[in-house]
Amino acid sequence: MGALHAGHLSLIERCKSECDNTVVSIFVNPTQFSPTEDLNKYPRDLENDKKLLANENVDYVFIPKEEQIYPCDFQTYVSVEKITKILEGEFRPTHFRGVTTIVNILFNCVKPDYAYFGQKDAQQVAVIQQMVSDLKMGIGIVVCPIVRDSDGLAMSSRNIYLSSKEREKALTLHNALLYGRKFIEEDKEMNPQVVLDNMKVIINEAKSIELDYVAIVNTYDFREVDLIEEGNEYYILIAAKVGNIRLIDNELINLS
């Protein structure tokens, strides 16, 4: 959606290393924002985005206008069912319908062989993978690692709205995730509730953080687990508001 940063550029670099042509779309999608969310305040810097993409030597930049994507008679939406009802879907009930609709439209316009997404939006990627599989689109979805600033904060276009004190508070989320990961991988704690309870202690010690959820889920269906088992992969997911800015982050746990 623009306001490009090093996380976005890492997707471009991965694509360029694997594909003959690279197309970058920029479109702030109104249908994935609820009326109470920050559509009008979402960061936009198209001129800088174009400079960054020129430096990356991408082959095409696709910047459609809103009326081209959603003309006045638009009435078709794409909905993925089960996985969109939990976690992010519970707190943002209209969000994923907007995501799957716009991604479907962009896929139809560009007709890619592969599409590159960041792990930071892990549930969103899983929703898109489900859509691509269900609708037999034949597009390879490539998930790329989270890119973090030097202090560990996951890169996000919304980070520019954090004050210095809020940014310091936001690092608590990553610290809690690292603690949870160590608790599982090194200390071999296989009771997810014990891990989550200890993570919540870390988060609650930092004031001004409004936790939406912290969860340990399977990577294939995003259902919360009752037991962590060797041989499986899990995400530890977190979503919280720091001040007025809502942030999400995760750690991938691979016990195979």
Q: How far apart are CA 241 and CA 251, in angstroms?
A: 18
DSSP sequence for 17-79: HH-S--EEE----GGGS-TTS-TTTS---HHHHHHHHHHTT-SEEE---HHHHS-TT------
The active-site residue, picked from 5, 8, 95, 174, is 8
Q: Tell me how far apart the terminal alpha carbons of the chain are, to the nearest angstrom.
A: 35
Helix (H, G, I), strand (E, B) or coil at 213: strand
Total residues found in the chain within this entry = 256
Cα 119 to Cα 2, 142, 191, 237, 249: the distances in Å are: 17, 10, 24, 11, 9
Q: How far apart are CA 254 and CA 185, in angstroms?
A: 8
Residue type, 229: E
Q: Which residues are 140's β-sheet partners?
A: 114
For the question of residue 174 being annotated catalytic, the response is no
Q: How far apart are CA 38 and CA 137, in angstroms?
A: 31
Active site residues per annotation: 8
